[in-house]
């Protein structure tokens, strides 16, 4: 596979499970798709018998409480899209169509590992088309109290730096920084599971969340104790999962980012908000192709070449 070229899946991959919030049974099919189509969801299994297409884009986000929901909740939406998007983005899959027959993606084991395995089983193919990147050229930052997410100009890939700070002793303050590459994603992030506190569960149930949550798909914490008999997969599994979520949320940019993402006590809402802030300022980003060996830099693209992006800046 040549770097800088667009990819898709070699063939379709099928997974099934349950939604962590809805507890609804769901089957998904990851389909190959053409160059320049990006990642999109096709929601089937609706009362009207029709299928609805939803682009995996920040502009389609409907909700960010506890998970990221895209689409129109009154017509067709998909919840908890972040882990499958993280797997596709982390492994460098540019184009795919995710068919889903329920309202929420399957939670699998609470991490992105099953999605990574499914992608590995079918393989990734080179579509021959040049990959487009979104290069950060001006810093953007969103805050909520002490929490923040920011994107800054940096380097030739996406560097992530995530810090969390929980009053719980078992989590406490954790910080992790990586340069996002397929090997690093597999090794450092893919297996990190989602987590939650037992004390929050009853309140979440009353609000209709976490109905499918169990020790098979979440790290459950009782103040300073991990309730899962197998324990943690990494001592700092919590910050790794937050970074995994950030990779999935940032995939909603619609193309790989070149720059540095940094967050403190952030979540889905601020991650989507930082993308909104980025795309609200046309001088904050540039659309570029992969570095050309002779030039050693990035070739700028005109907006005319990318109507999908141009439309967003209006």
The catalytic residues are 268
CB of 106 to Zn ion, least distance (A): 13
Alpha-carbon dihedral of residues 82, 84, 86, 92, nearest 10 degrees?
Answer: -150
Q: Are strands 69-72 and 61-63 parallel, antiparallel or unpaired?
A: antiparallel
- Interface region with Zn ion, contact rule CB under 5 A, candidates 22-30, 46-54, 186-194, 225-233: 186-194
- Per CB under 5 A, the list member of 245, 250, 270, 271 interacting with Zn ion is 245
- Interface region with Zn ion, contact rule CB under 5 A, candidates 46-54, 126-134, 140-148, 242-250: 242-250
Whether residue 261 contacts residue 150, with contact meaning beta carbons closer than 8 Å, is answered with yes
- Interface region with Zn ion, contact rule CB under 5 A, candidates 134-142, 184-192, 244-252, 304-312: 244-252
- Complex with Zn ion: residue 56 or 287, whichever CB lies closer: 56
- Complex with Zn ion: residue 85 or 258, whichever CB lies closer: 85
- Complex with Zn ion: residue 19 or 32, whichever CB lies closer: 19
CB of 80 to Zn ion, least distance (A): 8
Residue appearing with tokens 């659309």: 287
CB of 19 to Zn ion, least distance (A): 13
CB of 236 to Zn ion, least distance (A): 15
Site string for Zn ion, 187-216 (x = CB under 5 A): -------x----------------------
Residue 237 engages Zn ion in binding (rule: CB under 5 A): no
- Complex with Zn ion: residue 60 or 237, whichever CB lies closer: 237
- Complex with Zn ion: residue 94 or 245, whichever CB lies closer: 245
- In angstroms, the CA 263 to CA 261 distance is 7
Residue 8 engages Zn ion in binding (rule: CB under 5 A): no
In this structure, what DSSP letter does residue 259 have?
E
Whether residue 54 contacts residue 60, with contact meaning beta carbons closer than 8 Å, is answered with yes
Q: Considering CB under 5 A, how many residues would be counted as binding Zn ion?
A: 2
Residue appearing with tokens 């379709």: 12
- Complex with Zn ion: residue 41 or 133, whichever CB lies closer: 41
CB of 272 to Zn ion, least distance (A): 14
H helical segments located in the chain = 82-90, 113-122, 182-184, 198-206, 237-250, 268-280, 307-312
Please give the angle made by the CA atoms of 306, 307 and 311, to the nearest 5 degrees.
Answer: 125
CB of 67 to Zn ion, least distance (A): 7
Q: Are strands 96-100 and 39-43 parallel, antiparallel or unpaired?
A: parallel
Long-range contact pairs involving 308-311 (C-beta distance under 8 Å, separation at least 24): 308/254, 309/254
Q: How far is CA 147 from CA 42, 266, 282, 285, in A?
A: 33, 6, 25, 23
Strand blocks (E) in 44-185:
52-55, 61-63, 69-72, 76-78, 96-100, 124-130, 132-136, 140-144, 147-152, 158-165, 173-179
Residue 6 engages Zn ion in binding (rule: CB under 5 A): no
Residue 114 engages Zn ion in binding (rule: CB under 5 A): no
- Interface region with Zn ion, contact rule CB under 5 A, candidates 134-142, 176-184, 239-247, 262-270: 239-247
In this structure, what DSSP letter does residue 291 have?
P
- Binding region for Zn ion (CB under 5 A): 194, 245
């Amino acid at each position: 596979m040549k770097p800088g070229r667009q990819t898709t899946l070699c063939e379709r991959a099928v997974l099934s499970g349950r939604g962590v919030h809805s507890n609804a049974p769901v089957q998904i099919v990851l389909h190959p798709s053409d160059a320049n189509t990006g990642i999109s969801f096709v929601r089937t299994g609706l009362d009207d018998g029709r299928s609805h297409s939803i682009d995996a884009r920040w502009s389609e986000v409907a909700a960010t409480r506890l998970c990221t929901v895209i689409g129109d909740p009154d017509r067709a939406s998909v919840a908890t899209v972040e882990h499958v998007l993280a797997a596709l983005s982390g492994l460098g899959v540019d184009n795919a169509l995710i068919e889903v027959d329920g309202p929420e993606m399957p939670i699998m084991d609470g991490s992105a590992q099953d999605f990574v395995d499914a992608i590995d089983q079918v393989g990734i193919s080179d579509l021959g088309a040049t990959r487009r990147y979104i290069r950060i050229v001006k810093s953007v930052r969103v805050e909520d109290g002490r929490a923040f997410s920011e994107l800054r100009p940096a380097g030739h890939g996406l560097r992530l730096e995530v810090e969390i700070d929980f009053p719980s002793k078992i989590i406490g303050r954790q910080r992790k920084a990586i340069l996002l590459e397929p090997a690093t994603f597999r090794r450092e992030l893919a297996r990190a599971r989602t987590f939650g506190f037992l004390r929050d569960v009853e309140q979440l149930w009353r609000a209709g969340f976490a109905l499918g949550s169990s020790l098979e798909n979440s790290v459950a914490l009782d103040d300073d104790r991990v309730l899962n008999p197998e324990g943690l997969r990494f001592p700092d599994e919590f910050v790794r999962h937050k970074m995994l979520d950030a990779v999935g949320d940032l995939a909603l940019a619609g193309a790989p980012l070149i720059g540095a993402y940094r967050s403190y006590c952030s979540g889905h809402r601020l991650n989507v908000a930082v993308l909104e802030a980025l795309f609200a300022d046309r001088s904050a980003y540039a659309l570029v192709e992969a570095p050309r060996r002779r030039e050693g830099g990035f070739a700028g693209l005109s907006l005319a070449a990318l109507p999908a992006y141009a439309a967003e800046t209006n």
